[in-house]
Structure 1
Amino acid sequence: QNNSINLVNWSGNEKIDDYIYERQLKIKDLNDVVFEWIPYNQFNEIEKTGINGSITVYTAMWKNGPLCKKHITSKNYTRDSNKEVALKCLHNLQSPIEFVINEAKKYSTKNDNFLVLYGISQNPDTNDYILVFNWTSGNEKIDDYIYERQLKIKSHNDVVFEWIPYNQFNEIEKTGENGSITVYSAIWKNGPLYKKYGSSENYTRDSYKNVALKCLHNLQGPIEFVINEAKKYSTKNDNFLVLYGISQNPDTNNYILVQNNSINLVNWSGNEKIDDYIYERQLKIKGHNDVQCGKMVLYAKSIVQVKIIQEI
């Protein structure tokens, strides 16, 4: 079944090449990933999107793209050219060969998996090895959480929770600040994945989506904090507050929660406890019936009174 796969590129390292060859021997059908060595000069538009210890993540365009079969009856493989990928660069490792092979073994060999590893590459300037994915945050705990969320998708109303590269955001403007949280509005170029009600077609993207970026900074345990924050949100698209995914600012390394902009609140009290309470109230909103004008006015009035008492 492998006669139609013509791979001419190899790493030059016997252990890595043997591992790639073993992976290729196990290919049985069109859903199996054609794992390969990918020359670094195949990547264009390389942009840093995050860093985590000895791992730096970049987005890039893979010129040739991964090998695939369109249909079960297809004889030969073709390439999905100009594929956007994530490069997980591994640096400052004591045993880089063993490490990169062991890392590669952790991932599924199927194309229909949410997290797909296409192959291994190497930066010729630094000699750092690179794992080439369809996406990755660079942090195993965050990737595992996103993967778990994606496995729970059952219907069109379930949010396709994902890792969102920071370079996907344009027109970023600060709209509010509360302690260790700064909120920005932005345009998400690709936009969230969705499937129309009753449709059996593939997911499409709601491009150039206006979103809110909730930037978390000065945290002692940022990984655990961002995951715990994400767990507070509903997993349904018809909820008032929808969390689309997680991102990271590569300049500050701060993690970001990316949510819909259905509540555009730019005013905060300046008191962290009050603002946290308001935010918790917002998370509990399930629909527009939960927001009644009379109650909202009284609620806002009581907050103003509390602030006046504090100042006195």
Structure 2
Amino acid sequence: MIEWIPFEKLTNFQIIREEELRMIFMATWLDGIRIIEGEPVEYTQSCIESCGVNLIILHDLQTCDSFIKELTNYMQLEGNVVYGITQNTKTNQYIIVIPDEFNSRRNNSNGVCKYCKCYNTSPAWCQSCDPRREVLKWTHENKGINNLIKEFQFKATEYEKVVEWIQFDKLINLQEIKGESDFVSMATWVKGVRTFKGESGKFTQSRTISSVDLMKLNYSQTSTLELVENFKVLMQLEKYRIHGITQNTENGQFVLVIDFYNDKRKSINGICKHCARYNTNPVWCQLCDPPKKIQETSGDKNIDDCIMEFQFKATTYETVIEWIPYNRLGNIKEIGRGGFGIVYSSIWLDGKRTVEGDDSLGYAPYREKSCEVALKTLPGSQTNSSEFLNEDMYVR
């Protein structure tokens, strides 16, 4: 049932978007929508007080007859619901009052939007009001980049997922990341990543100074379109948390500001002491720890380079391989012999890497002292490290 809604019963007007033929506003309807309460046979009529609604203002409709025609066409479309009609007392424009398109996502635990006074659609974020304010902020003089950022800001469903233009001078402590692609480096973002703070029902938007990863975008320097398309592809991947885009002021290269291993970071893994983000595995940050591993060297460049290569690929603390001095192996005994070498048992005095703890107490790195290991020799590898590497390390 649709009804006449007095214009003074609508407050907190906020424009959501302007389309070719109409403008969409948000407002609070003081009387509220009609509902039915009670049990079967004992139903009663009621209203939800002060609920959010959307308003459709059609362009170029000067007469009541043309408005009624458009209203009828709108109501005949499947799925469209109309609460009622109102009229702006200043402009005399007729307005269609419809349900709030994000009503199903509004929850009191998300807090109240300071603009429309309705519950937010996610913690500290109102999808009706906040995206429009984000796009009003300064971005970049390049129209293609500017429109790209605004497009995704309009689509943002959560405060933490908003992408933005990031000034390059706000990224400090730039450093290369060994072992990763040449396209990835790390920096500290002084403005900080988006987060929300507070408790349920009182969440507020906030920022936290954090390490971020910088990924060079692969594109032709003369083709903004190629840059835009590559960015859209990366936005569809759930692996990364994308904070925004910046531009290196020295070489003009556009760079994506992201969390490269966001899909693996979990609070139960602890905090990385280098980048202050959650680890990707217990006590292990796949981005920071591999290049920071200090190892004893064998004295043979081929062996050392091989070990370093596999250390860069290590995804957990326990799977890091290392150079083990022979004098750290004791009680060596032959246990097998064949055409592919001799196998010994031994006690490794330093012990293998392991992780102690659990999800509730947290984790810590640990070494099992004096653990038993097996040793394997390969024929012909005593004087040729390259042959040893080809026969053993790369056949795994």
TM-score by length of 1: 0.50
Larger radius of gyration: 2
Structure having the larger proportion of residues in strand: 2
